[in-house]
């Protein structure tokens, strides 16, 4: 909101005024200069005040408060704009499924004790630890402690959540949108905007690299002079393992397992070529969905029946046709 | 496995949050430091700049022998200090035979040097040498006025640059709400020649004038000095563009279909979808539209029969 106020440029956002018409051809004496500047400065400040005091103000205890317009002289930022955090796996999933967040009460009525309890945390409702007796079921395996089972399951769930959290943080770190309080351990400095702290190579890592370089001779580093402080090679022999050829149990069966593994891999890859099961199933599901939607639009009682029947009928045909299509695409 | 570090205390978390990039920045901190050799003048200049900016400035007192902002490699430790103290403005004082009473004012972006201005200080007059009524003394952290005088600030590139830098240095916080009673200081900068700026700091006296706008009066309180521009380095064009970006969230969106008129005030346009007259059912069927009973008999018998069958199967 810069305005021309009797040849002054006024930037109200910065409380700045500029007189571009003044010119000193001959350097004036010191006193003159100071006097002249102050005079001119007073005029400029008066010009700012004129527009400043004409703004609508609200009365406060400490004085009148005005709302300043945004400044016209743009000053650079000190740090780049924060990047938006990419959606987490759950957020993506929830968006796809149309799941919406809603507020839950903090307190929940516990029917067992007949009191209100916290939903989460200490002394929470339906806590597994509070259950004194677990009724046996037919499916229970004998000799298994149901309490211990619950505990391990809980532990696993917590671990899984931690893993997911780290995964999401990693994704955020990739685009440089880590929350300000989180720091990847590799970077010692706080992360600000674009700055990626350079990774320091540790002493051990350097030693390893040096060791690797030393073996890159014809003799595998056997006759090279060792430097002062250079560590001996960690593994100076060849990596070879001979399995017993005679079949038996334990180590004896390893050889068989090894060959089995290779064969299985080969067979499984070649079987994939014949029919991509995943693709075929997907193809089938999508087609079914489409059909259902289409028929939903027409929606009559009689057509509902038909749609139910038709997929089973056509399946045998489609199985063969989908193969061909999936290969082409 | 990825290891992450999070602060253990709430206070540490808040501190980290303070230095994180923000959508709307709260104000730049200033780092004040000096080189291996300084003159008395430069010492005084640095302390007085520190006094002016005491609310958000950091002053280093040790000598720094490896800071040469204009030379490549001479800015590394400066950038490090800027990161360490979270300052994005710096004032570096030095004194040498070639450049006596030297002051380098610079800005950083993302803790890398953004632009630099080197000035020599002449005719320095300290705050202490001014005598004035102490009740006019400006308070620390008050929002200042700026008055730039002289066509040089528009035509000469160096002066244009120093104008922006001085504005950034002494501006303090960008505010939207301003208390009019708290205005008490003015910075006056005059372009004397093409490379010389007279800079002074004045207190503001508001006197009654009979109107709502008070009459302003300036009282020089110092420091005042002449800044002779020596070297300067402008920001890289692409970096400049990047640093001037504003968040798309903060940009004012144009309001669609709303216009303002002096006489009528706010005018809105409302679009109504087409009325589909054909599909609207009539309120009551008139006799003429009803099908005849005979027709229903002949046609309807077969129809009802067909309709019923699937219904039974369905249930």
**How far, in Å, CA of B261 to CA of B280, rounded?**
38
Closest Cα to residue A308, out of B95, B38, B310, B245? B310
- Condensed to tens digits (0 to 9), the pLDDT of residues A230-288 reads 777 666 677 777 777 777 777 778 888 888 899 888 877 666 566 677 888 888 999 99
SS3 B102: strand
- Mean per-residue pLDDT, B182-194: 91
Where residue A6 falls among pLDDT bands split at 50, 70, 90? low
- Kindly report whether the peptide bond that precedes residue A30 is cis, defined as omega within 30 degrees of 0: no
* Residue B102 at interface with chain A, using a CB cutoff of 8 Å: no
> Contact A116/A110 with Cβ under 8 angstroms?
yes
Whole-angstrom distance, CA of residue B163 vs CA of residue B153: 7
- Rounded to a whole number of angstroms, the distance from the CA of B312 to the nearest CA of chain A is 10
Restricting to B residues 60-79, those with a Cβ less than 8 Å away from any Cβ of A are none
Q: Say whether B179 and A62 touch across the interface (CB within 8 A).
A: yes
Task: Say if the Cβ atoms of A63 and B114 lie within 8 Å.
Answer: no
pLDDT at residue number B46: 95
Among the partner-chain residues A37, A63, A66, the one whose CB lies closest to the CB of B190 is: A37
Q: Is the pLDDT of residue B108 over 80?
A: yes
Question: Mapping DSSP to helix (H, G, I), strand (E, B) and coil, where does residue B128 land?
Answer: helix
Confidence of residue B166 (pLDDT cuts 50, 70, 90): very high
B167 pLDDT above the threshold of 90: yes
Burial B146-161 (b: 16+ CB within 10 A, else e): bbbbbbbbbebebbeb
Contact criterion met (CB < 8 Å) for B16 and A180: yes
Nearest to A75 among B22, B168, B198 (CB): B168
The whole-angstrom separation of Cα B234 and Cα B157 is: 10
Give me the residue from A14, A16, A38 closest to B220, CB to CB.
Answer: A38
What confidence score (pLDDT) does residue B86 get? Answer: 92
The label of the residue with tokens 């406060």 reads A60
User: Mean pLDDT for chain B?
Assistant: 87
Whether B205 and chain A come into contact, CB under 8 Å, resolves to no
Residue B30 has pLDDT above 90, yes or no: yes
What integer pLDDT is reported at residue A306 of this predicted model?
47
Q: Are B129 and B48 in contact (CB under 8 A)?
A: no
pLDDT at B250 over 60: yes
* Nearest chain B Cα distance for residue A243, angstroms: 33
Nearest CA in chain A to B15: A181
How many A-B residue pairs are in contact by the CB < 8 A criterion?
235
- Considering only CA atoms, which of B185, B189, B177 is closest in space to residue B119? B189
For chain A, what is the mean pLDDT? 79
B188 has which bridge partners?
Answer: B147, B200
Residue A99 pLDDT greater than 90, yes or no: yes
Tell me the Cα Rg of chain A.
38
| Band (A185; pLDDT cuts 50, 70, 90) | low
Tell me the pLDDT band of B234, cut-offs 50, 70 and 90.
very high
User: Which B-chain residues 26-55 have CB contacts (< 8 A) with chain A?
Assistant: 28
Q: pLDDT tier at B162 (50, 70, 90 boundaries)?
A: very high
Q: How confident is the model at residue B301 (pLDDT cuts 50, 70, 90)?
A: low
Q: What tokens appear for A311 in the block?
A: 């997929």
Q: How confident is the model at residue A303 (pLDDT cuts 50, 70, 90)?
A: very low
A69-83 pLDDT, tens per residue?
Answer: 888 888 999 999 988
Residue B277: predicted pLDDT: 79
Query: In this model, does residue A325 exceed pLDDT 80?
Result: no
Q: Name the residue in chain B with its Cα closest to that of A303.
A: B310
- Residue B172: closest CA among A9, A82, A71, A37: A71
Residue-wise pLDDT tens digits, B77-106: 999 999 999 999 999 999 999 999 999 999
Q: Which of B2, B28, B168 shows the shortest C-beta gap to A184? A: B2
CB contact under 8 A, B178 and A65: yes
Distance CA B216, CA B208 (A): 9
Q: Of A209-223, A239-253, B108-122, which has the strongest mean pLDDT?
A: B108-122
Q: Tokens 């009019």 correspond to what residue?
A: B180
In terms of CA atoms, which chain A residue is nearest residue B10? Answer: A181
Q: How far apart are CA A75 and CA A64, in angstroms?
A: 27
Task: Flag if B310 and A305 touch (Cβ within 8 Å).
Answer: yes
Interface contact A79-B151, CB threshold 8 A: no
Tokens of residue A101, six digits: 């967040």
Residues of chain B above pLDDT 90, percent: 52
Chain A CB contacts of B130 under 8 Å are none
Q: What are phi and psi of A66, to 5 degrees?
A: -115, 155
Q: Considering chain A, what percentage of its residues have pLDDT values greater than 70?
A: 79
Give dist(CA B98, CA B70) in Å, integer. 15
Chain A residue numbers touching B114 (CB-CB < 8 A) = 76
Between strands B185-193 and B145-149, the pairing is parallel
- Best residue in B89, B148, B177, B223 for a mutation probing chain A (most A CBs within 10 Å): B148
pLDDT value of residue B211: 86
B112 DSSP assignment: E
Nearest to B214 among A49, A193, A302 (CB): A49
Query: What are the φ and ψ backbone dihedral angles of B228, each rounded to 5 degrees?
Result: -100, 120
Q: What CA dihedral angle connects A215, A219, A223 and A226, to 10 degrees?
A: 0
Mean pLDDT calculated for residue range B211-222: 88
Inspect the interface and report whether the beta carbons of A192 and B111 lie closer than 8 Å. yes
Going from the C-alpha of A80 to that of each of A188, B25, B307, the distances in angstroms are: 20, 10, 69
Mean pLDDT across the stretch A80-90?
A: 91
Note the pLDDT tens digit of each residue in B268-299: 999 988 888 778 777 776 766 666 676 767 76
pLDDT more than 90, % of chain A: 20
Average pLDDT over residues B104-115: 94
For the ranges B49-58, B129-138, B271-280, the lowest mean pLDDT is seen at B271-280
pLDDT category of residue B197 using cuts at 50, 70 and 90 = very high
Chain A nearest-CA residue for B214: A49
pLDDT tier, B306 (very low <50, low <70, confident <90, very high otherwise): very low
Q: Which pLDDT value is given to residue A180?
A: 81
* Nearest neighbour of B310 by CB, restricted to A60, A73, A302: A302
The answer to whether the CB of B95 falls within 8 A of the CB of B38 is yes
Which helix (H) or strand (E) is A64 found in, with range? strand A64-67
DSSP letter (8 states) at residue A128 = G
Q: How many CB atoms neighbour CB B242 within 10 A?
A: 17
- Banded model confidence at residue B134, pLDDT cuts 50, 70, 90: confident
B187: left (phi over 0), alpha (psi -120 to 50) or beta: beta
Q: Give CA–CA dist A258/A272, Å, rounded.
A: 22
Length of chain B: 315
**Cα separations in angstroms, A74 against A61, A235, B246:** 32, 63, 10
Residue A269, pLDDT score: 67
Residue-level pLDDT at A198: 57
The helix/strand/coil state of A180 is: coil
How large is the average pLDDT for residues B183-200?
Answer: 92
Contacts of A49 in chain B (CB under 8 A): 213-214, 216
Q: Residue B202 and residue A38: Cβ atoms within 8 Å?
A: yes
CB atoms within 10 A of CB B193: 16
Phi, psi of B60 (to 5 degrees): -95, 140
Is B240 in contact with B110 (CB distance < 8 Å)? no
Q: What is the pLDDT of residue A273?
A: 63
Rounded to the nearest angstrom, the minimum Cα separation between B213 and chain A is: 6
DSSP H/E element including B291: none
| Predicted local confidence at residue B164, as pLDDT | 94
Beta carbons within 10 angstroms of residue A66's beta carbon: 19
Higher pLDDT, B11 or B306: B11
B130 interface with A at CB cutoff 8 Å? no
Who among A60, A67, A169 is closest to B176 (CB)? A67
Predicted local distance difference test score (pLDDT) of residue A199:
67
> Which whole number is the average pLDDT over B139-165?
92
């Amino acid at each position: 909101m810069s305005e021309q106020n009797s040849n002054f440029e006024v930037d109200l956002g910065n409380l700045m005024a500029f007189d571009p018409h003044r010119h000193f051809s001959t350097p004036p004496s010191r006193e003159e200069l100071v006097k002249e500047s102050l005079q001119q400065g007073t005029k400029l400040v008066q010009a700012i005040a004129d527009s400043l005091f004409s703004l609508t103000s609200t009365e406060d205890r400490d004085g009148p408060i005005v709302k300043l317009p945004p400044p016209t002289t743009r000053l650079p930022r000190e740090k780049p704009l924060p990047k938006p955090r990419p959606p987490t796996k759950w957020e993506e999933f929830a968006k796809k499924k149309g799941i919406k967040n809603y507020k839950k009460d903090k307190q929940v009525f516990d029917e067992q004790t007949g009191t209100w309890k916290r939903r989460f945390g200490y002394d929470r409702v339906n806590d597994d630890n509070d259950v004194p007796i677990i009724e046996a079921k037919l499916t229970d395996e004998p000799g298994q402690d149901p309490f211990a089972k619950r505990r391990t399951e809980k532990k696993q769930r917590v671990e899984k959540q931690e893993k997911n959290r780290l995964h999401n943080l990693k994704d955020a770190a990739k685009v440089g949108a880590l929350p300000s309080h989180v720091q990847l351990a590799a970077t010692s400095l706080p992360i600000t905007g674009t700055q990626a702290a350079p990774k320091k190579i540790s002493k051990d890592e350097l030693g390893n690299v040096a060791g690797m370089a030393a073996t890159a001779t014809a003799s595998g580093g056997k006759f090279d002079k060792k430097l002062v402080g250079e560590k001996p090679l960690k593994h100076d022999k060849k990596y070879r393992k001979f399995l017993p050829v005679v079949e038996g149990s334990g180590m004896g069966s390893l050889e068989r397992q090894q060959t089995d593994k290779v064969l299985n891999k080969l067979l499984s890859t070649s079987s994939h070529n014949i029919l991509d099961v995943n693709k075929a199933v997907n193809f089938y599901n999508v087609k079914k969905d489409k059909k259902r939607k289409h028929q939903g639009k027409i929606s009559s009682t009689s057509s509902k029946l038909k749609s139910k029947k038709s997929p089973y009928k056509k399946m045998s045909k489609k199985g063969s046709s989908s193969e061909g299509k999936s290969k082409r695409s | 496995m990825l290891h992450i570090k999070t602060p253990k205390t709430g206070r540490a978390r808040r501190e980290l949050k303070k230095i994180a990039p923000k959508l709307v920045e709260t104000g730049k901190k200033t780092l004040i430091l000096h080189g291996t050799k300084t003159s008395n003048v430069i010492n005084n200049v640095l302390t007085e700049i520190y006094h002016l900016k005491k609310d958000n400035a950091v002053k280093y007192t040790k000598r720094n022998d490896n800071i040469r902002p204009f030379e490549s490699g001479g800015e590394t430790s400066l950038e490090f200090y800027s990161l360490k103290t979270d300052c994005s403005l710096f004032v570096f004082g030095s004194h040498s035979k070639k450049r006596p009473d030297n002051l380098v004012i610079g800005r950083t972006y993302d803790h890398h040097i953004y632009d630099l201005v080197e000035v020599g200080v002449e005719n320095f007059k300290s705050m202490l040498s001014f005598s004035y009524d102490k009740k006019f003394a400006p308070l620390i952290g008050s929002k200042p006025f700026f008055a730039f005088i002289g066509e040089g600030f528009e035509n000469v590139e160096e002066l244009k640059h120093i104008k922006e830098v001085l504005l950034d240095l002494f501006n303090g916080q960008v505010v939207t709400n301003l208390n009019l009673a708290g205005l008490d200081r003015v910075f006056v900068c005059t372009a004397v020649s093409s490379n010389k700026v007279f800079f002074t700091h004045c207190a503001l006296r508001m006197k009654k004038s009979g109107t709502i706008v008070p009459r302003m009066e300036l009282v020089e309180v110092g420091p005042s000095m002449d800044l002779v521009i020596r070297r300067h380095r402008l920001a890289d064009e692409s970096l400049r563009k990047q640093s001037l970006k504003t968040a798309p969230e903060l940009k004012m969106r144009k309001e669609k279909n709303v216009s303002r008129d002096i006489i009528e005030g706010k005018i809105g346009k409302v679009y109504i979808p087409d009325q589909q007259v054909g599909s609207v059912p009539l309120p009551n069927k008139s006799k003429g539209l009803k099908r005849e009973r005979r027709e229903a008999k002949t046609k309807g018998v077969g129809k009802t029969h067909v309709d019923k069958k699937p219904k039974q199967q369905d249930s």
